[in-house]
Amino acid sequence: MYVSPLFFLTARLTVSPSSSQFFEYDFVSLSCEEDDSSAGWTLRRNTSKQQRTQCGDGWGEGAGSSCNITVFPHDSGVYWCESREGPISNMVNLTVTGGSVILQSPVLPVMEGDDVTLLCKTKTTPSNLPAAFYKDGSLIRKQPTGHMTIQHVSRSDEGLYKCDISDSESFTDKLKSRLTVSPSSSQFFIRDFVSLSCEDDSSAGWTLRRNTSKQQRTQCGDGWGRAAGCSCNITVFPSDSGVYWCESREGPISNMVNLTVTGGSVTLQSPVLPVMEGDDVTLLCKTKTTPSNLPAAFYKDGSLITNETTGHMTIQHVSRSDEGLYKCDISGHGESPSKKHITTPPDSSLLHFVIRLLFHLVMFCPYVISTLLMVSLYRKTAKGKNIRVSILPIQPEQGLDNEHYDVISDVTTEYHF
C-alpha cells in the first residue's frame, strides 16, 4: 500500500484590525496562524524600497507569532507568512496613507455569493458622513451613512472601488492577480497535464513563480513549464510538487496554490478555491486507470470518518471543526497523500474576549494593588511603626494635540475584487 508524506504546512496571515487600508500612525497587528505551533513561521514583506524583509529587520516588533507595527506610508506593501519551504500563506496588500480618507473592507477573501460592506472613513471626523462610491471611475451610489453593502457578489462586481467624502477621495489600488489551476485540483498523478494562469483585467506583466523542495522562486520557463500567453502549461512529475503564485514587479500578490504530484495510484481531489465557513465541499477519491466511482474510505487526521460507495464525500456547511488533514483509501489501489483540504477564516470572537479580559484586568489591577498596599500600611502603622506616605498627583500626558484638523483633499487606495 502506497503512503505519501504529509504535504506542506499551511499558515494564515491575519490582520487586526481587519482592513487593508490604514491611516498614518495606526497600530496594526499581523499574525501567522496555523495548527502546528512548533513550526517556525516568519512574517515577510515587499515594499517599494525593500524586498523579502522580515519582521524586526528595520520594521515591526515581534510578539510571539505576531508582529506589531505603528504604520507609515513606507509600510505599504505585500505581507505574507513564510516557512523554510517558502511563502505559503495568503498574501495581504496593506496600504497606509497620510491623507484623510480610506475605504475599508475585510481582509478575508471575497467569495461569490458573499455580502461585502465597504466603509468610507475619515481620520478625525465621525465615520458616518455621507459618501459617494465609485467603481472603475464611475459613480455607482451615494450613501448618507458612509457605508455601502454589495449583496451576493459575483464576477460582474469585480473592479476598482473608491469613495469620496466632501471632495476627499480614496486612491487607486495596486493591481491584483488570481492564480487559477485547470483542472481545478491540488493533487495530480505523474504525467497529468496542468495549466496555471495569472488572471486580471489589466495588461500588467505577471510572472508565475514557484517554490519546490529543491528550488526557490523559479519562474515558468526556467527549467519547468512552457509559457502560453498568461498561462503556464506543465506535464507534472513529483519534483513539481510545491507552492505556486503570480508575481508582479511589486512582489508576489496573488493567492498561493499548493500542488502535490504523486507517483502513487490514488489522489484525493477537491477544488483549489478557498473554502469558507458555510460552504459545501466535495472530496473525490480517484484512481489513475480505473473508474472514479469505486468505493472509498475517507480519513481525517488519521481516523476513519466514513466509507462511501461512489468514491466521493460531501462535507456540508463546513466550519472550523472540519479543518484537518484528509486522505482516502481505495481497496486494492492504495491511499492518497494526506492534505489539508479545508481551511476556514479565523474566528475573531475569542480574540475579542481576550481583548476585553485584558482591558478589565488593566483597569481593575491598580485598584486591587492600591487596596492591598493600604491594608499593608495600616497593619504596619497599627504595630507602632511610623510610616510617611506621600501621594503625588499624576501629571497629565504631554504632547497631546487638541487642534482640530480640517478634512483635506487627498487620495488613498481603492479595492479590486
Q: Would 121 be classed as within a structural domain? A: yes
Residue 297 lies in a domain: yes
| 66 pLDDT higher than 80 | yes
Which residue type, as a one-letter code, is found at position 59?
W
Residue 66 lies in a domain: yes
Residue 392, pLDDT > 60, answer no
How far from each other are the two terminal CA atoms of the chain, in whole angstroms?
45
Q: Is 81 inside a domain boundary? A: yes
In this structure, are 139 and 209 located in the same domain? Answer: no
The answer to the question of residue 401 being in a domain is no
Q: Which domain holds residue 229?
A: 181-263
pLDDT tens-place string over residues 141-175? 888 888 899 998 887 887 788 888 875 666 444 44
Question: What's the average model confidence in pLDDT over 50-72?
Answer: 90
Give me the CATH number covering residue 307.
2.60.40.10
170 shares its domain with 194: no
What is d(CA 205, CA 213) in angstroms, rounded to the nearest whole number? 27
pLDDT tens across 234-280, in order? Answer: 999 999 998 888 887 655 567 778 888 988 889 998 877 566 677 88
| CA 140 distance to own-chain centroid | 28
129 found inside a domain? yes
Same domain as 303, residue 334: yes
- Domain-terminating residue out of 156, 174, 192: 174
Mean of pLDDT over the chain: 75
Domain count, the chain: 4
Q: Is 378 inside a domain boundary?
A: no
d(CA 209, CA 247): 7
Last residue of a domain, one of 354, 379, 398: 354
Nearest to 264 by CA among 242, 288, 283, 284: 288
Kindly write down the DSSP assignment for every residue of 326-395, as one continuous string. Answer: EEEEETTTEEPPPEEEE--PPPSHHHHHHHHHHHHHHHHHHHHHHHHHHHHHHHHHHTT-------PPPP
Is 113 a residue whose pLDDT tops 70?
A: yes
Does residue 372 lie in a domain region? no
Last residue of a domain, one of 354, 376, 394: 354
pTM to 2 decimals? Answer: 0.49
Same-domain check for residues 189 and 232: yes
Three-state SS annotation for 144-167 = CCCEEEECCCCHHHCCEEEEEECC
